[in-house]
Amino acid sequence: MAVTEAPASSVLAVDETAPAPARKWLRSLAIGLPAGLLVLIFGACFVLPLVAPIPKPTGGDVLSSSLPPFSPGHLLGTDPNGNDIFSRILYGGRSSLIVAISVNLLGLALGGSLGALSAHFGGAVDTIIMRVLDVFIAFPSLVLTLAVAQSLGPSQRNTIFALAFFSIPAFARISRAATLRLREQPFMVAAKLSGTSTWRILVRHIAPNIGPQLMTFAMLGMGIIMIIEGALSFLGLGIPPPAPSWGNMIAQGQLSLSATPLLVVWPSLALFLTVIGFNQLGEALRARWSGR
Amino acid sequence: MLGSPSLRLVGKRLLMAVPIVLGVSILTFWVLNLIPGNAAQQLLGPEASPDQIQQLEEEMGLNRPQVVRYLDWLGGAVHGDLGTSLVSRQPVTDELGPRLAVSGEVVGLAFLISLGLAIPVSLLAARWPNRMLDRISMVVSTTGLSVANYVFALLLVLLFAVQLAWFPAIGYTPLSESVTGNLRSLALPAIAIAFPLFCFYTRFLRSDLVDQMQGEDYIMTARAKGIGPWQVLLRHAFRNSAFGLITIVGLNLSTLIGATVIIEQIFALPGIGQMLLQAINTRDFIVVQACVIVFAIITVLANLLADLLYAVLDPRIRYGSN
C-alpha cells in the first residue's frame, strides 16, 4: 500500500541531509540517552539504598521536621514528619517501578497471548474475546481501577491487580492487530501448510515477530502506568502512607503547596524524568524497528 | 446531506453500542458486588447489630439475588431512573444533571483550548518542518506528554493562583452567578486538562501532515499544478489528516473522564468526577453505577460521533462504496 511506504521514504529524505556516521550516532544516542537515564534511576532506587547510608523513608523524628535542602545528612531536606525526602524519593520510586513493571509484565504475558490466540484462531473465539475487550475499553479505565482499588483496599499488590485490569486489554489489542498483520506473510502460510503445530507456530513464528512491537508498547506502557499509579496514590487509593510513593508524596505536598512547594516539586521531577525516559526509549525503539 | 448508506452505518454502530453499554453495566455491577461489606453496613456504621443490618438490607432489597437486582436496576435505567443514592437518599438523576454540566463545561473548554492551539501550531510546524517553530513545538509536546496532569495542575496552581493570584486556586462559580467568575474558576482546570491533549494532538497532526506533504502523490500533483503551499496544506493535506484527528479526539474522551476525576478533586469542582470519587469512598454503589454508565454512554457516543463525522467528510463512506 502506498500509505505504508510514505513514512519510509520521508525518513530517507530526511536522512540524506546528514552524513552516515552522524546519523548512526544520533540514532544510538536516541536509545542510549533515555536508557542511561533509566539505568541511573533504577540504580538509585534499587541499589543506592543498599550501599549508601540513606536514612529510613519512614518513622522520622519530629525534631528534625521540614529541614531545608542540603541540611547535614538530608540532601533534599526533610518533610513535615521529619522523614528524609531523598530517601522517600528513592523508596517511593522503588514501589512505583515495581508496580509498573509487574503491571506491564502481566499485560504482556496475559494480554499479549490473549490477543495472539484470538487473532490466530479467528472465528467465534476471536469475536467473543474482542467483544469482551471492547467492553473493557469502553469502560473508563481509571474508574474501574478506582473501584477495584477501593474494594480490595489500598496496598501495593492490589494496585497492581487494579492496574492490570486495563493493561491486559490494551496489550491484547496490540498483539491481536500485530498477529493479524502476520497472517498473510509467506512464512506463516508456509508454516501452516507444512503442518506445523499451533503451539509451535505461536511460539516460534508469532511471538518473535510481535515481540518488538509489544516491547515498544510496554515501554510506553511503563510511563502510562507510572502516571496512573501516581494518580491512584494521589487520590489515596494506591500505596497507603506512611510508605512512600511518588503519588502520595505529591498529594501530601499539595496540602502545603504555597508554603513548601519543593515537597511537590521533588517527587514530580522524579516522576517526570522516569516517564520521559520510558517514553523516549519507547519512541526510539519504535523508530528503529519501523525504520528497517 | 447524509444519504441512506451513512444512516444505515449509524444505525449499525448504534446497535453495536448497545451490547457494549450493557456489558459495562454488568461488569460494574459485578465488580461492585465483589466489594466486601455492602451499603447497609456502610450506612449503619460499625456498631450496628446484625439484625439491624438485615432489616435495612431487606428494606433496600439488597438480600435478593444479584441477577434479580441487576434486572431490576436495568428496568429502571431503561426508563431513565438510575436509582436512589444510598447516602443522600436523593434520586441519582437529579444530582447527575448539574454535575454533568460542570464537567461538560470544563471538558468542552479543554477541547476548545487544545484543538484551537494544536491545529494552527501543527499547520505552521508542517509548513516549515525542522525550523524553529517546529522544533519548539516538538520539544514542548514530547516533554508535555511525560508530565502527569495532576503535576501540571499543581504547577498551574503554584504559578497562577499562589504566585500571581490571577485565578482562584479552588472552587467553582456557577455561570448563572457571574460569567467572568465562572470562566476564571474554570480556567486553570481547563488548561490542566487541555495541555496534555494539546501535546498529543500536535504530535499526531504535525507528523501526519509532514508525512503527507513529503510522500503523497496527490500532494505532488497539487504542487505540480501550481497550487500554493498553504493551499495544498489546508485543502489537501489537512483535510486528510482531519480523519485521524477525529478518531483520536473520539478515543481520547474516555481518558479525559479519568482526568476529570483527578482535576475536579484538585480544584474542588462539583462535577461528575468528584461525585464518582465521593461515591467510591462512601461505597454508594448506586451512584458509582450511575456515573460509570453515564461515562460508558458518553464514550460510546463519542466514538459514534467520530464515525458519523467520517461519513460526513468522506464521500467514499457517504455514498457507501466498498
DSSP per residue, A46-71: IIHHHHS-PPPSSS--GGGTTPPTTB
The whole-number pLDDT of residue B68 equals 79
Q: Does A103 touch chain B (CB under 8 A)?
A: no
- Nearest beta carbon to residue A138 from set B24, B32, B130: B24
Taking contacts as CB-CB distances below 8 angstroms, the residues of chain A near B266 are: 254
Q: In angstroms, rounded to a whole number, what is the distance separating the alpha carbons of residues B73 and B59?
A: 15
Say if residues B199 and B228 touch (Cβ distance below 8 Å).
Answer: no
Taking contacts as CB-CB distances below 8 angstroms, the residues of chain B near A238 are: none
Asked if residue B310 has pLDDT above 50, the reply is yes
Over chain B, what is the mean pLDDT?
79
Say if residues B236 and B158 touch (Cβ distance below 8 Å).
Answer: no
Task: Tell me the three cell numbers of residue B72.
Answer: 431490576
- Residues within 8 A of A (CB atoms), B 104-133 only: 130
DSSP A240: P
User: Cβ of B53: how many Cβ atoms within 10 Å?
Assistant: 16
Asked if residue A245 has pLDDT above 90, the reply is no
Say if residues B60 and B85 touch (Cβ distance below 8 Å).
Answer: no
Q: Is the CATH number of domain A79-289 1.10.3720.10?
A: yes
Q: Does A30 touch chain B (CB under 8 A)?
A: no
Q: What ranges in chain A are assigned the alpha helix state H?
A: 2-15, 20-42, 48-51, 85-106, 112-121, 123-138, 141-152, 156-182, 186-193, 198-200, 207-234, 246-254, 262-290
Compute φ and ψ for A74, nearest 5 degrees.
-130, 95
More confident residue, B295 or A19: B295
Peptide bond into B174 cis (omega under 30): no
Q: In angstroms, rounded to a whole number, what is the distance separating the alpha carbons of residues A6 and A4?
A: 6
Compute the average pLDDT of residues B185-198: 88
Give the pLDDT confidence of A166-222 residue by residue, as tens digits.
788 888 888 888 888 887 788 888 888 888 887 888 788 888 888 888 888 888 888
Compute the average pLDDT of residues A15-32: 70
Compute the average pLDDT of residues B26-45: 70
Q: Does A291 touch chain B (CB under 8 A)?
A: no
CB–CB of B214 and A139 under 8 A?
no
The whole-number pLDDT of residue B116 equals 92
Please return the burial class of A197, using the count of CB atoms within 10 Å of its CB with bins 0-12, 13-18 and 19+. exposed
Judged by average pLDDT, the poorest of B31-35, B151-155, B194-198, B294-298 is B31-35
**Length of chain B in residues, anyone?**
322
The whole-number pLDDT of residue B25 equals 81
Residue matched to cell numbers 495541555: B195
Compute the average pLDDT of residues B302-314: 76
Torsion of CA B214, B218, B222, B224, to 10 degrees: 70
Compute the average pLDDT of residues B163-176: 75
Asked if residue A16 has pLDDT above 70, the reply is no
- Residues within 8 A of A (CB atoms), B 8-27 only: 19-21, 23-24, 27
Asked if residue B301 has pLDDT above 70, the reply is yes
Q: Where in chain B is the domain with CATH 1.10.3720?
A: 101-270
Judged by average pLDDT, the poorest of A70-84, B98-112, B211-225 is A70-84
Considering chain A, what percentage of its residues have pLDDT values greater than 70?
A: 84
Over chain A, what is the mean pLDDT?
78
Taking contacts as CB-CB distances below 8 angstroms, the residues of chain B near A5 are: 215
A12, A139, A252: best to mutate for the B interface, most B CBs within 10 A: A139
Task: Please tell me the distance in Å from A203's CA to the nearest CA on chain B.
Answer: 32
Most confident of A50-59, B271-280, B282-291: B271-280
- In this prediction, residue A2 has a pLDDT band, given cuts at 50, 70 and 90, of very low
The whole-number pLDDT of residue A106 equals 92
**Sign, CA torsion B287/B293/B299/B304:** negative
CB–CB of B19 and A137 under 8 A?
no
CB–CB of B265 and A235 under 8 A?
yes
DSSP A196: -
More confident residue, A173 or A48: A173
pTM of the full structure: 0.79
Q: Does A256 touch chain B (CB under 8 A)?
A: no
- At the topology level, CATH places domain B101-270 in MetI-like fold (1.10.3720)
Asked if residue B3 has pLDDT above 60, the reply is no
